[in-house]
């Protein structure tokens, strides 16, 4: 044990500077808490060890929510992407989502610069070995060299580094992602403190050199021509984009995998933690879906200043020489030169039902955890938890109010509620189908949902807040106007409507009602009954969605109300589940572990059946009468 020395006192210490760590640190510092970020290697701030891609359904919306709360991820994407696309444009507004391919190096550099320039924030390279705990309260951390940093709050965001082990074929060695140093002592320390930890697994595919790819055998996947941005504040767009490419596995690929399955740690009998179902290795895909004759392979450039290409769809932990053969079996990659091999990585993660909805641990006061450590996967899920942990840790340190987002406030709310309520038995990924109210949680209205909250926390500037209020007023006024103004049958109306399949207007009609017709757009309405001043695209989009889908939005709101009624049914804190004989024992175990705050939360827990909930309800309703005596 090295000699200890006092190294400083802070409001908040963030351990780790990945996607969770940076958002946590920035939120904390910007709320006015003195913040220290300790990370193993400051050249790896906001590093993307898997594919250089952020966004997509649900995840992309999280990025917008982070942005509305004043976070950094969206802005950095807008500055450093090589390609951006809007997905699900053929479907309705509830499920549209942006996705960007990033320049891996530029992204990191930009994020590191933002941390360096932040007031109130110190970025330092150090390995944290131990937490200082007194009376179940965290007081600071001790590093490998004996430095003692004291703090009111600590946030752990160590990703896949805790007792990380890389597995390729039958080779297994202690390592963080991409051969970085793992974090062993901190992992031991958490176990000693009595936290329930589980081993999870994830993986990454090999990378190849672009110069050795025969792109003529692949299909081009260009970015959108229309300029796109994640941040509501972005005004400058990158127009020079790089394409991605699509190819497929061949019968030979499948043959190689089937022949060598015994060499894959997942199938060789090697003991290995569960991996994410939605991000399966190529071995898994071929075994589980052996009726499929081919699988898609996307080739994604890792940046503008490199020839390295990420082979999406070929995630594997087969031995390196087999990986080489696999690559060569894919059309277009016959002569591809493998630059890095794929691998699986196994790591410790904390069972997230040990957390409060603020991401503070139940066991140790003022200690927060966020990101992949909490059993999630994905940069966006990590960042979303990061900003919430940062906000709540800073709020605690500064004596301010905590922030919990509900399932109807944002995907971040869905994510955290799922984690702390249901736990997870595989790395958790957000999906739009996890959200009950996704029509309310749209990509386009993240600012309308969350800017107010961000502003109150001090994370959103006055200027931005003013812009947001203006936007909101414009939307309300235009909706009101369209509800009032009547469209009468006339030659110019007829002409504009002929652009669509819409039937001729025979009777006068409110403009709002006309806009409800699926085939009529706001653009047409605004030409039929023009507003005084032309509205921005963002405002026009909100007006159109709001009027067109009003009925559905109302239905979703009713759904929220129904759930809120259940949320309002609070479960007494001192309830003795063991004394309620009617509840099944599996449910009792879960309820004792999670200690849900409301009936609604209890009803979302796995292992707690509707029958248990109805019994619980009856007990709480007549708790005074039936006298639960233990």
Partner 1 sequence: MHFDTIAAISTPMGEGAIAIVRLSGDEAIQIANRVFQSPGGKKLIDEQSHTIHYGHLVNPVSGETVEEVMVSLMKAPKTFTREDVVEINCHGGIVAVNRVLELILTEGARLAEPGEFTKRAFLNGRIDLSQSEAVMDLIRAKTDRAMNVALGQMEGKLSKLIGKLRNALIETLAQVEVTIDYPEYDDVEEMTIPLMIDKCTWVKEEIDKLLQTSSQGKILREGLSTVIIGRPNVGKSSLLNSLVQENKAIVTDIAGTTRDIIEEYVNVRGVPLRLVDTAGIRETEDIVERIGVERSRQVLKEADLILLVLNSAEELSIEDERLFEAVSGMDTIVVINKTDLPQKIDMKKVESLAAEGTIVTTSLLQDEGIDELEEAIAKLFFEGNLESEDLTYVSNARHIALLHKARKTIEYAIEAAELGVPVDMIQIDVTRTWEILGEIVGDTVQEGLINELFSRFCLGK
Q: How far is the CB of 21 from partner 1 (least distance, A)?
A: 24
Q: 561: which DSSP letter? A: H
CB closer to partner 1, 197 vs 246: 246
For residue 193, CA distances in Å to 138, 168, 341 come to: 11, 32, 36
Q: Which stretch binds partner 1 (CB under 8 A): 21-29, 105-113, 458-466, 605-613?
A: 605-613
Report, in Å, the least distance between residue 86 CB and partner 1: 10
Alpha-helical regions (H) of 118-199: 185-192
| Contact status: 253 vs partner 1 (CB under 8 A) | no
**Cβ distance to partner 1 smaller for residue 180 or 609:** 609
Closest to partner 1 by CB, 149 or 522 = 522
288 or 483, CB closer to partner 1?
288
SS (H, E, C) 102-122: ECHHHHHHHHHHHHHHCCCEE
Shortest distance (Å) from residue 451 CB to partner 1: 24
Inter-residue contact 372 to 427 (CB < 8 Å): yes
Q: Is residue 94 near partner 1 by the rule CB under 8 A?
A: yes
Does residue number 438 form part of the binding site for partner 1 (CB under 8 A)? Answer: yes
Stretch that binds partner 1, among 65-73, 154-162, 536-544, 578-586 (CB under 8 A): 578-586
- Closest Cα to residue 348, out of 366, 369, 362, 365? 369
Query: Which DSSP string do the residues of 184-247 spell out, in sequence order?
Result: -HHHHHHHHTT--EEEEEEEE--EEEGGG--GGGSEEEPPPSS---SSTT----------EEEE
CB closer to partner 1 out of 205 and 273 = 205
User: Do 76 and 229 meet the contact criterion of CB atoms below 8 Å apart?
Assistant: no
Q: Residue 139 or 442: which CB sits closer to partner 1?
A: 442
How many residues in the shown chain lie near partner 1 by CB under 8 A?
A: 59
* Tokens encoding 110: 């930009």
Indicate whether 433 belongs to the interface with partner 1 (CB under 8 A): yes
Judged by DSSP in three states, 374 sits in helix
- Dig out the tokens for 184 from the structure: 């062993």
Considering only 4, 113, 277, 304, the residue that binds partner 1 (CB under 8 A) is: 277
Task: Assess 579 for contact with partner 1 (CB under 8 A).
Answer: yes
What count of Cα atoms within 13 Å lies in the side-chain half-sphere of residue 553?
17
Minimum gap (Å) between residue 436 Cβ and partner 1: 7
DSSP letters for 430-460: --GGG-TTTTTS-STTHHHHHHHHHHHHT-S
**CA distance to 302, 545, 550, per residue, from 93 (Å):** 30, 7, 12
Residue among 409, 277, 266 nearest 343 (CA) = 266
Yes or no: say if 525 and 496 are a contact pair by the CB < 8 Å rule.
no
Q: Does 565 bind partner 1 (CB under 8 A)?
A: no
Stretch near partner 1 under the rule CB under 8 A, chosen from 62-70, 309-317, 340-348, 461-469: 309-317
Residues between 494 and 533 with contacts to partner 1, criterion CB under 8 A: 518-519
Q: Does residue 513 sit in helix, strand or coil?
A: helix
Mask of contacts with partner 1, 71-90, x by CB under 8 A? ----------------xx--
Q: Is residue 93 involved in binding partner 1 (CB under 8 A)?
A: yes
366, 432, 451, 524: residue in contact with partner 1 (rule CB under 8 A): 432
Query: For partner 1, which stretch binds (CB under 8 A), given 132-140, 176-184, 466-474, 614-622?
Result: 614-622
CB nearer to partner 1: give 163 or 228.
228
184 binds partner 1 (CB under 8 A): no
552 near partner 1, rule: CB under 8 A: yes
**Are 313 and 282 contacting, i.e. CB atoms less than 8 angstroms apart?**
yes
Report, in Å, the least distance between residue 444 CB and partner 1.
Answer: 13
Residue 92 near partner 1 by CB under 8 A: yes
The reply on whether position 582 binds partner 1 by CB under 8 A is: yes
CA–CA separation, 406 and 440 (whole Å): 12
Report the site for partner 1 in 405-424 (rule: CB under 8 A).
422
DSSP 274: -
DSSP 8-state class, residue 627: T
For 344, the token pair is 């699986």
Listed in sequence order, the residues at least 6 apart from 524 whose beta carbon sits closer than 8 Å to its beta carbon are 496, 497, 499, 500
Q: Are 65 and 410 in contact (CB under 8 A)?
A: yes
Please, what is the minimum distance in Å from the beta carbon of residue 432 to partner 1?
5
**DSSP designation for 59:** H
Over the window 122 to 161, marking each residue x when it contacts partner 1 by CB under 8 A and - when it does not, the resulting string is ----------------------------------------
Instruction: Check: CB of residue 247 under 8 Å from CB of residue 328.
Output: no
Question: Quick one: which segment of 34-42, 288-296, 386-394, 464-472 binds partner 1 (CB under 8 A)?
Answer: 288-296
Q: Which lies closer to partner 1 via its Cβ, residue 188 or residue 550?
A: 550
Smallest distance, Å, CB 312 to partner 1? 5
Residue 626 engages partner 1 in binding (rule: CB under 8 A): yes
**Cβ pair 408, 439 in contact under 8 A:** no
Q: Which residues bind partner 1 (CB under 8 A)?
A: 51, 57-58, 87-88, 91-95, 221, 276-280, 285, 288-289, 292, 295-296, 298, 312-313, 315, 422, 431-434, 436, 438-439, 518-519, 549, 552, 555-556, 559, 579-584, 606, 609-611, 614-615, 618-619, 626-629
């Amino acid at each position: 044990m090295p000699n200890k020395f006092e190294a400083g006192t802070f409001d908040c210490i963030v351990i780790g500077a990945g996607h969770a760590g940076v958002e946590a640190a920035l939120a904390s510092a910007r709320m006015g808490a003195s913040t220290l970020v300790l990370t193993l290697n400051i050249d790896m701030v906001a590093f993307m060890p898997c594919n250089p891609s952020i966004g997509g359904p649900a995840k992309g919306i999280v990025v917008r929510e982070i942005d509305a709360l004043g976070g950094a991820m969206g802005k950095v994407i807008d500055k450093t992407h090589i390609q951006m696309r809007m997905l699900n444009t053929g479907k309705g507004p509830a499920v549209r989502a942006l996705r960007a391919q990033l320049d891996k190096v530029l992204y990191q550099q930009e994020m590191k610069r933002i941390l360096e320039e932040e007031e109130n924030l110190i970025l330092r390279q150090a390995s944290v070995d131990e937490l200082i705990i007194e009376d179940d309260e965290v007081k600071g951390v001790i590093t490998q060299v004996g430095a003692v940093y004291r703090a009111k709050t600590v946030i752990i965001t160590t990703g896949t580094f805790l007792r990380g082990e890389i597995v390729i074929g039958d080779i297994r060695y202690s390592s963080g992602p991409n051969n970085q140093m793992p974090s062993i002592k901190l992992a031991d320390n958490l176990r000693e403190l009595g936290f329930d930890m589980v081993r999870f697994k994830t993986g990454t595919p090999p990378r190849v050199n672009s110069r050795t790819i025969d792109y003529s055998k692949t299909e081009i996947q260009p970015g959108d021509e229309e300029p796109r941005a994640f941040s509501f504040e972005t005004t400058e767009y990158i127009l020079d984009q790089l394409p991605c490419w699509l190819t497929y596995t061949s019968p030979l690929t499948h043959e190689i995998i089937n022949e060598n399955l015994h060499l894959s740690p997942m199938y060789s009998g090697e003991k290995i933690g569960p991996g994410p179902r939605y991000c399966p290795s190529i071995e898994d895909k071929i075994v589980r879906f052996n009726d499929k004759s081919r699988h898609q392979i996307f080739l994604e450039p890792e940046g503008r200043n490199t020839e390295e290409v990420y082979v999406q769809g070929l995630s594997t932990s087969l031995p390196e020489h087999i990986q080489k053969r696999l690559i060569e079996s894919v059309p277009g990659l016959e002569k591809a030169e493998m630059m890095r091999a794929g691998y699986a990585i196994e790591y410790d993660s904390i069972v997230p039902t040990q957390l409060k909805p603020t991401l503070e641990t139940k066991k140790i006061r003022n200690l927060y955890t966020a990101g992949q450590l909490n059993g999630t996967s994905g940069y966006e899920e990590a960042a979303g938890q990061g900003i919430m942990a940062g906000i709540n840790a800073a709020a605690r340190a500064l004596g301010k109010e905590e922030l919990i987002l509900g399932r109807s406030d944002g995907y971040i709310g869905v994510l955290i509620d799922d984690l702390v309520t249901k736990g997870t038995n595989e790395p958790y990924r957000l999906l739009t189908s996890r959200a009950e109210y996704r029509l309310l949680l749209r990509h386009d209205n993240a600012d309308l949902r969350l800017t107010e909250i961000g502003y109150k926390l001090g994370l959103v500037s006055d200027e931005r807040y003013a812009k947001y209020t203006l936007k909101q007023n414009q939307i309300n006024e235009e909706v009101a106007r369209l509800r009032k103004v009547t469209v009468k049958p006339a030659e110019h109306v007829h002409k504009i409507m002929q652009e669509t399949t819409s039937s001729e207007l025979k009777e006068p009609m409110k403009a709002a009602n006309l806009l409800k017709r699926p085939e009529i757009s706001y653009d047409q309405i605004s030409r039929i009954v023009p507003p005084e001043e032309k509205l921005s695209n963002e405002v026009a989009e909100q007006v159109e969605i709001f009027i067109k889908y009003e009925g559905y939005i109302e239905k979703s709101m009713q759904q929220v109300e129904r759930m809120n009624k259940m949320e309002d049914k609070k479960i007494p804190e001192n309830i003795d589940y063991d004394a309620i004989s009617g509840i099944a024992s599996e449910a009792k175990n879960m309820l004792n572990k999670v200690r849900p705050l409301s009936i609604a939360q209890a009803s979302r827990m796995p292992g707690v059946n509707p029958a248990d909930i109805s019994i619980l309800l009856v007990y709480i309703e007549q708790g005074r009468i039936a006298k639960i005596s233990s």
